[in-house]
Amino acid sequence: MPWTKIYGDKSAFEKAAAESDVPLRGITYAEALREAQAQLLRDDERVFVFGEGIDDPGGVFGSTKDLHKEFGDERVFDTPLAENALTGIALGAAVSGMRPILVHMRVDFVPLTLDQILNHAAKWSYMFDGKVHAPMIVRSVIGRGWGSAAQHSQNLHALFTHIPGIRVIMPATPYDAKGLLMAAVEDGNPVIFIEHRWLYGHMGHVPEDPYTIPIGKGIVRREGTDCTVVAISQQAAEAVKAADILAEEGINIEIIDPRTLRPLDTDLIVGSVEKTGRLVVADNGWKYGGIGAEIAARICENAFGALKAPIERINVPECPTPASHILEAEYYPGIEDIVAAVKKVVQYGHA
């Protein structure tokens, strides 16, 4: 199935498309997000898109480019630097029947909105016995590589998974970016939709017609028998590359992309670990209290007897992000870390 594949750059996709038995339409991750929003705006008058810088020439790395020209500045518009107030506007619009998509370009500043998200959006449906909903989407960006340092390049997704009533979505492919964003708008709950900056240029198969992907359903990116690697967001692309290296040494990993962190597809991960007996979780967030800890705990609760080795977690160091490009390159995990962690659990007990 073409939508399960992670192609990466344009040349890799074009090679796959040339060899495919079915037509493959290739667009980038950023283009997929833009297309999803355009179709939502076109098909649902309740949808509007707003946030800081979305009508700039770059259009949030291309993901909102020229939408204001197509749909007008009453439905797609720039905003002041007032994150908490903007999230309150989104919440008010959502409970009034609208479907706002609020773009907080950097996840570092979403904590400024926690009162609106934690104390209000997450709880309204519960407090009003399901009679009031807050169907608001908060798009935000994580990433690395431009020296933005400690206050502009954090990976805070685990922070939001702690809150009942909030969906947390982290798509890794263009296909999932479009399908999950459309599903999020239809879901009826508040959603934190987190995109990795390094994925915006990735190209993949994306159908032109609107479609949705079930929220809370992960996917097997690659089947294997020796070790399960749960790879989150951009780490899914790293895991695919690591799998090729490991395969040359006779180690076949199964790659699970959860796609959504809350709700989490526990059954898919448990089933994979019961088959392989080993687990590595690759994440760009911190280890302490991170999503890897939650996944590891669920395996210990549901598949402890299947484990042949201790669980390995791959994370960034327990310190703020450095600004230096050299230090930043050392700070973030990648292919080599996944390869080393898999070898460690596969070789456990044989040293």
Higher-confidence position of 261 and 351: 261
User: What is the set of active-site residues?
Assistant: 83, 152
Q: Where are the domains of the chain?
A: 2-205, 219-346
Residue listed under structure tokens 């449906």: 125
Q: What's the rounded mean pLDDT across residues 339-350? A: 93
Output the six-digit token pair for 46. 């309740």
| Fold annotation for 219-346 | Rossmann fold (3.40.50)
Q: What is the CATH number of domain 2-205?
A: 3.40.50.970
What confidence score (pLDDT) does residue 146 get?
65
What confidence score (pLDDT) does residue 61 get?
92
Closest-CA residue to 59 (of 46, 45, 44, 49): 49
Do the domains spanning 2-205 and 219-346 agree at the CATH topology level? yes
What confidence score (pLDDT) does residue 351 get?
60
Q: What's the rounded mean pLDDT across residues 104-108? A: 89
80-103: b or e for each residue (b if 16 or more CB lie within 10 Å)? eeebeebbbbbbebbbeebbbbbb
Reported as a single tens digit per residue, the pLDDT across 175-188 is 999 999 999 999 99
Reported as a single tens digit per residue, the pLDDT across 273-308 is 999 999 999 999 999 999 999 999 999 999 999 999
Reported as a single tens digit per residue, the pLDDT across 121-159 is 999 999 999 999 999 999 999 887 666 888 888 899 999
Apex 25 CA angle, 64 and 252, nearest 5: 100
What is the share, in percent, of the chain residues with pLDDT greater than 70? 99
Check pLDDT > 80 for residue 92.
Answer: yes
What confidence score (pLDDT) does residue 145 get?
67
The contacts found for 18-24 with CB under 8 angstroms, 24 or more apart, are 24/205
Q: Is the model's pTM score more than 0.75?
A: yes
Q: What's the rounded mean pLDDT across residues 206-215? A: 97
